[in-house]
Amino acid sequence: MTMMLASVRSLDEALIALEGGADLIDLKEPSRGALGALDHAAVRICVQAIGGRRPVSATIGDLPSMDPQSMTAAVERMAATGVDFIKIGFFFRPQAFDCATALSKLASRARLVAVLFADETYDLALVDELAGNGFTGAMLDTAHKTGKTLRDWRTENELEEFVIRGRNRRLLTGLAGSLRREDIPQFLAIGPDYLGFRGALCRNGDRGQSLDRDTFAKIRAAIPQGTAQYRRAAA
């Protein structure tokens, strides 16, 4: 069953996502980029307030240089906040495989999820490398929020290939990138472990605006509830 990931930028939004039935609450700051990081103090407050009622993920920020040392340090700092999952952007750089190897030593301390970008070049062989280095999951998102959706960048066959590759390597898989409610049935047919939303949950579909309860409820209603299963998968 596919679950719902809701990206939030504050405690108030995290509580809306919790009350609205999100399966995974994802902490990020959209004004700082595709994977803009919230301040660590804010992450800790959200983790404490959610209190284990839902799994919580957080991004470490956009690090396009893909420097293994900087990336490892950023993951270590975020792991100290107590989040359940840490999302790490993997840009198409020669160092990407080195970063996967460098982060392997942290995989026993934190559940690591690599985010690849559909609007840039990516290498599916990296999925194998991630699995071999102890990562928990792999996600396909968009790096540039230009109004185009994931479907504008990749065909259904390409998206399915990504999900199958991850599943065969026993990784949790996710799809995100300006997803719209009308696209949900097609994505559910592909069968990722979760679908990620930000803009579709906000006022006027603007990811920079606050979450809107009514809009949130419409997205939640379009995805079958799966919290209990997600907890088992994340354990």
Instruction: Supply the DSSP string of 8-55, one letter for each residue.
Output: ESSHHHHHHHHHHT-SEEEE--GGG-TTPPPPHHHHHHHHHHHTTSS-
Told to judge if 145 belongs to the known catalytic residues of this protein, a careful annotator would answer no
DSSP 202: B
Distance CA 55, CA 198 (A): 17
3-state secondary structure of 165: helix
Strand residue runs (E) in 79-207: 85-89, 111-117, 137-141, 172-175, 194-197
Distance CA 164, CA 232 (A): 20
Tokens in use for 165?
A: 């590759």
Told to judge if 105 belongs to the known catalytic residues of this protein, a careful annotator would answer no
24 close to 230: Cβ distance less than 8 angstroms: yes
Task: Return all residues near 146 (Cβ < 8 A) that are at least 6 apart.
Answer: none
* Catalytic pick among 87, 105, 148, 218: 87
* Catalytic pick among 28, 105, 148, 218: 28
Catalytic residues: 28, 87
